[in-house]
Amino acid sequence: MKIDSFTANSLDERFWHLIAATMITLWFYILDAWVWFLPIVSLFVFLLLLPCLLIATVACLFRRFRTFAFKLLACIGILFLGIVAVGVTNHIRNDLPRRRAVKLGDACLAYHAKYRHYPKRLDDLVPEFISSVPAAKNGILGEDDFFYAPHETSEPFIYYECFPPFGYCYYYVESRCWEFLD
């Protein structure tokens, strides 16, 4: 086989499975990590890949199916990398609003120490205690804001929608503890 005999079509025929796996991986990464914020498609793909991985591993034992099995394992590897990327991204995206809520809570405590009452709105903290009220989450479809309840209970709390549309994460300012409610 000559090197100059390779064309774009022959490369596409040889690597179409890797291209397809990469495109599927990008698709579910964008959906799961930046639109839904939940590993919905990733979990489905992972459950589908487990039997394929078993079949490909067994097929590697037989010389007749070895080439096909290696191609299948390469595709599975790309998809697993995508699943890991979704998991890491979601972990970072879920940790960021928690840190932001703690900073807002600290600013509320500083406001309370200075004025002897809690602010009525989070915007009252700007610019003296924080430069601006941050968004809870940023995504392709927009931003999700923090909500603040200064006097609904004995202690003020900050909350945001952490698992849309199923639940909210609450940060209690004075006790500095978290609670999840759906």
By DSSP bridging, strand 167-172 and strand 177-181 are antiparallel
Tens place of pLDDT for every residue, the chain, 182 residues?
Answer: 444 454 445 545 667 777 788 888 888 888 877 777 677 777 888 888 888 888 887 877 777 777 878 888 888 888 888 888 888 888 888 899 999 999 999 999 999 999 999 999 999 999 999 999 999 887 666 668 899 998 766 789 999 888 766 788 999 999 999 998 87
Give this prediction's pTM: 0.71
The domain locations on the chain are 3-91, 94-181
The pair of three-digit structure tokens given for residue 133, joined into one six-digit string? 């009220």
Nearest to 101 by CA among 18, 180, 33, 28: 180
Long-range contacts of 165-172 (CB under 8 A, 24+ apart): 169/97, 169/98, 169/101, 171/98, 171/101, 171/102, 171/104, 171/105
